[in-house]
Amino acid sequence: MALKIICTLLAVVFVVGYANAASSGKAITAADIPTTPTATTCKANLDAAAAAFAAAGNAITGVKQIAGASKSNYIFCMEIKDPKDTATIDLNIEPAYVGTPFSTLLTNPAYPQLPAYITAIYQAAAAMTPGGYGLATYPWDLSNIANATPADQKTSLLEKLSSGTANYVCGCGISTAPVSSTRRMLA
């Protein structure tokens, strides 16, 4: 029994370590946004989300999912708090993520990809100013949210929204590419 618990704990540490090691986030300027059609559409969707946020009195509840959203084309929004345990994902195509505190999401073995996703968003958000943009890259397979070692990594364009002391980041995917990591081959 003790050996089984130790093995389970080591597996969780490995998965979380792998996921966090493969994520990255940074602030960028509007001029740095890629000029691909996907990035252009994403930026337009984020600008619409920022306008909806402002129209709702700087309330994240004013931001709605884009028309025709799908697992390959959607926006997400999350709270940026320190500490992040009580922060939530406020908008996402995956309903199980919405409204659940990070402390619950990050310890749920059913969602092994979330630590890298949240880490990358937080890395970018730390360097972003309100109304500013960022990029986050993380291992991701939304078609199988229980996949602990996705073969692909997603890059999302981000925009930071603020209201007083409340901060949020909204984003959408602009590219997907194979994960290029020696750790991936060892897994």
Q: Which of 105, 123, 116 is nearest to 152 (CA)?
A: 116
Q: Note the pLDDT tens digit of each residue in 159-178.
A: 999 998 999 999 999 998 88
Residue 180's pLDDT is 72
Q: Which two tokens stand for residue 150?
A: 């996705």
Parse the chain into domains and list their residue ranges. 2-186
Q: Which one-letter amino acid corresponds to residue 171?
A: G
Beta bridge partners of 136: 25, 156
Q: What is the pLDDT of residue 23?
A: 85
Which regions in the chain score pLDDT beneath 70? Answer: 1-22, 181-187
Pair of tokens at residue 141: 């397979």
- Predicted confidence at residue 108, as pLDDT, reads 93
> pTM above 0.75?
yes
What pLDDT does residue 4 have?
38
What is the 3 state secondary structure string of the chain? CHHHHHHHHHHHHHHHHHHHHCCEEEEECHHHCCCCHHHHHHHHHHHHHHHHHHHCCCCHHHCCCCCCCECCECCEEEEECCCHHHCEEEECCCHHHECCEHHHHCCCCCCCCHHHHHHHHHHHHHHCCCCCEEEEEEECCHHHCCCCCCCEEEEEEEEEEEECCEEEEEEEEEEEEECCCHHHHHC
State pLDDT tens for residues 71-102.
888 999 999 999 999 999 999 999 999 999 99
**Residue 22 confidence (pLDDT):** 64
Contact 142, 179 (CB under 8 A): no
pLDDT at 107: 93
Q: What is the Cα–Cα distance from 170 to 133, expressed in whole angstroms?
A: 10
